[in-house]
Amino acid sequence: MGVAPKEDYTAHQLQVLEGLEAVRKRPGMYIGSTDSRGLMHCLWEILDNSVDEALEGHASNIAIRLFDDGSVQVDDDGRGIPVDEVPGEGRSGVEVVYTKLHAGGKFGGGNYKVSGGLHGVGAAVVNALSSRVDVEVDRNGKTHRIQFRHGVAGRYQDGPAGPSPDSPFVPFDGTRELEIVGDVAKDRTGTRVRYWLDRDFFVAKAAFSYARLVERARQTAFLVPGLAIAVIDHRENAEHPEQNFRFEGGTVDFVDFLAPDSALTATMRLSGEGSYTEHVQVFDEAAGKQKMAELERTCHVDIALRWGTGYDTVEESFVNVVKTPEGGSHVAGFESGLLKLMKQMVEANARRIKLTAKEQKAMKIEKDDILAGLTAVVTVRLPEPQFEGQTKGKLGTPQVRAIVAKIVETQLGDILNSKKRDQKTETSRLLEKIVSEARARVAARLHKEISRRKNALESSSMPAKLADCRSEDIESSELFIVEGDSALGTAKLARNSEFQALLPIRGKILNVQKAGAGKVLENQEIKSIIQVIGAGSGRTFNLESARYGKVIMMTDADVDGAHIRTLLLTLFFRYMRPLIEAGRVYAAVPPLHRLEVAGSGGKKGSYVYTYSEAELHTQIRKLEKAGKRYKEPIQRYKGLGEMDAHQLAETTMDPKGRTLRRIDMEDEQALIEAEAMFEKLMGGDVGPRRKFIVEGAATIDTSMIDA
């Protein structure tokens, strides 16, 4: 067998990608991906240029326009991109910015103290990935225009139908002067950029997200107080033709907008600055070349934060108004400063928050304990930040960490250590919450370890009163939480032990809306429920570990039963919310009455069950109309224990004949309403609950009360 000849590998095989060809060859390197995120990133690059003008105080209005042909336009009233010729290039500043990588006014020279576009590739990258780009600049009393087709500068000859990437195009030849298309007032300046992305560079499913655009516009308006941003949708059948955003409160307003729960503390603002030195290249005018030098930089920090009654963390971070979803050195500094300060405060206030010496020694406060319920916006502004990648998802400038941490430690420490009575109360509540989270974490970790479905050798770790099912199929298995031991006895005979498990609880469990997390997880009934469901609780809850496909609350059809059901729902909502969101929590519907219908013609009598007073009266009328007799008195079930096993099975437990009410939350609005209702009915503030009861008392039919 012969050996295949080796191909020659010489310098002739090497390729050098010039200009924008590198972007078109590997677009993902410049915009992160070629899916919907990359599509939106192109808009962010153009928008950030306008926002940078606002950051420098040169722009106060930005408009983003959407058109039916898929194009997008960004307008601003900033200084306008320079239209004069760039020395040594023979081209205008506008053409250089849109055709040369790493070209712009943000690399030094004092044009921008802070900026979101630091790589100088944003506008050029969008141009490279667009089939057409139109740029108009208002400067010096004139409107200057330049157009690009696939990154090549020239002019389009549009017809009556308006601008289109398919219009005839004439590229620049010898002359490269900008086209003057109008006159404007001498003091009017600004830039308008309209682009048509070339969809060949993006995956087929890549789609423009109007919701993300509105979110970005809103957050930018929060972060640049006084900047007006309009999102104008010119598309046919636009749901929102125009949305306008302008805020004066900055990060404090932003935190209040983002917070998902009711406030535990007031919203606090921390601001300051710090200096650091950086070894970078600068242009030496005397020598006419670049050289390395030590520059002193200033980092401005603006943070707003508050803690709420929930346990979800909302943490947004920005560098020069650019969102950094992956965090970076500014977030690391914020969290490290927070952790150091809170550890010191818990230790110093141990007696006030009733932290025992034993707990203090055994329990170590962790970052997650402090972040529970925190809503924070962390923003920094600095010249030439080091981002990790062109998409600017993570800040890499290491010196920022220490500056942010110091501001958090000193300023937040001053606020929380204030001697004012209201602040002392808030601080105590906050420290109690942090300690409760630490207790809950330790307890939940223990529960998580012992709450997996056990084999025969491990079954002893489950509560003794659990009557488990035999099936290992989670999808088909059901856990009935039963009110009382008497109902348990009947339910054991009524259930299908193949897939139905039973857990009795003694009366009314702890109200978890009022109690701290530590007390909640010390409660034996709640511990049993958490153990049996097997997915942990709170922040550590893992839906995939739940041992049953359905969790069914089976309580008596009376006031006490309704109260127990409400207490259980409060537990699930606060500590096992994913169960509700997944539609896996149900309420059983036992009957209220049983009618014994007499037989006729020697036939055996039958039973009819009804589930409400209205249904009972309807059923009685039907029987009387049909000439059928029923025995008096009608049986009124006051508890599950009054039913025989076959009756309980037939009406409440057997999937063939039972009715279950599924507890769910359809959308974000339902979640907000549920939060408010649980706080009103089960929270620690008595006033709203009293008002709710008094206002609702007039609607109660006292004759319906079973007393």
pLDDT above 60 (res 11)? no
Q: Which residues of 633-660 are buried (b: 16+ CB within 10 A; e: fewer)?
A: ebbebebbbbbeeebbbbbbbeeeebeb
For the stretch 479-520, pLDDT in tens is: 999 987 778 888 999 999 999 999 999 878 888 877 766 677
For the stretch 514-562, pLDDT in tens is: 776 667 777 888 888 988 998 888 877 889 989 999 999 998 888 888 8
For the stretch 204-255, pLDDT in tens is: 888 889 999 999 999 999 999 999 999 999 999 888 999 999 999 899 999 9
pLDDT value for 77: 94
Say if residues 139 and 92 touch (Cβ distance below 8 Å). no
Burial of 2 (0-12, 13-18, 19+ CB in 10 A): exposed
The CATH classification number of 455-590 equals: 3.40.50.670
pLDDT value for 384: 82
pLDDT value for 538: 80
The CATH classification number of 252-439 equals: 3.30.230.10
Distance (Å, rounded) from C-alpha 82 to C-alpha 138?
10
Backbone angles phi, psi at 223, to 5 degrees: -80, -20
pLDDT value for 353: 82
Secondary structure of residue 102 in the 3-state scheme: coil
**Domains in the chain: boundaries:** 21-247, 252-439, 455-590, 592-636
Backbone angles phi, psi at 61, to 5 degrees: -140, 135
pLDDT value for 15: 43
Secondary structure of residue 413 in the 3-state scheme: helix
For the stretch 244-284, pLDDT in tens is: 999 998 999 999 999 999 999 999 999 999 999 887 666 56
Distance (Å, rounded) from C-alpha 576 to C-alpha 536?
8
Q: 632 or 674, which is more confident?
A: 632
pLDDT value for 9: 45
pLDDT averaged over every residue in the chain: 84
pLDDT above 70 (res 692)? yes
Angle of the 668-682 helix axis to the 559-575 helix axis, nearest 10 = 120
Neighbouring C-beta atoms of residue 417, cutoff 10 Å: 14
pLDDT above 90 (res 20)? no
Burial of 159 (0-12, 13-18, 19+ CB in 10 A): exposed
Kindly indicate the confidence band of residue 175, based on its pLDDT and cuts at 50, 70 and 90. Answer: low
| Catalytic residue numbers, as ranges | 483, 556, 558, 560
pLDDT value for 340: 95
For the stretch 416-473, pLDDT in tens is: 999 998 999 999 999 999 988 888 787 776 655 544 443 333 344 688 889 999 998 9
Say if residues 153 and 145 touch (Cβ distance below 8 Å). no
Q: What is the 3-state secondary structure (H, E, C) of 541-595?
A: CCHHHCCCCEEEEECCCCHHHHHHHHHHHHHHHHHCHHHHHCCCEEEECCCCEEE
pLDDT value for 629: 86
Kindly indicate the confidence band of residue 369, based on its pLDDT and cuts at 50, 70 and 90. Answer: very high
Distance (Å, rounded) from C-alpha 224 to C-alpha 47?
14
The class level of CATH for 21-247 reads alpha beta
Distance (Å, rounded) from C-alpha 458 to C-alpha 462?
8
- Predicted model pTM: 0.58
Token pair of 40, please? 């939106």
Compute the average pLDDT of residues 62-91.
Answer: 90
Say if residues 70 and 197 touch (Cβ distance below 8 Å). yes
For the stretch 351-367, pLDDT in tens is: 888 777 777 777 788 99
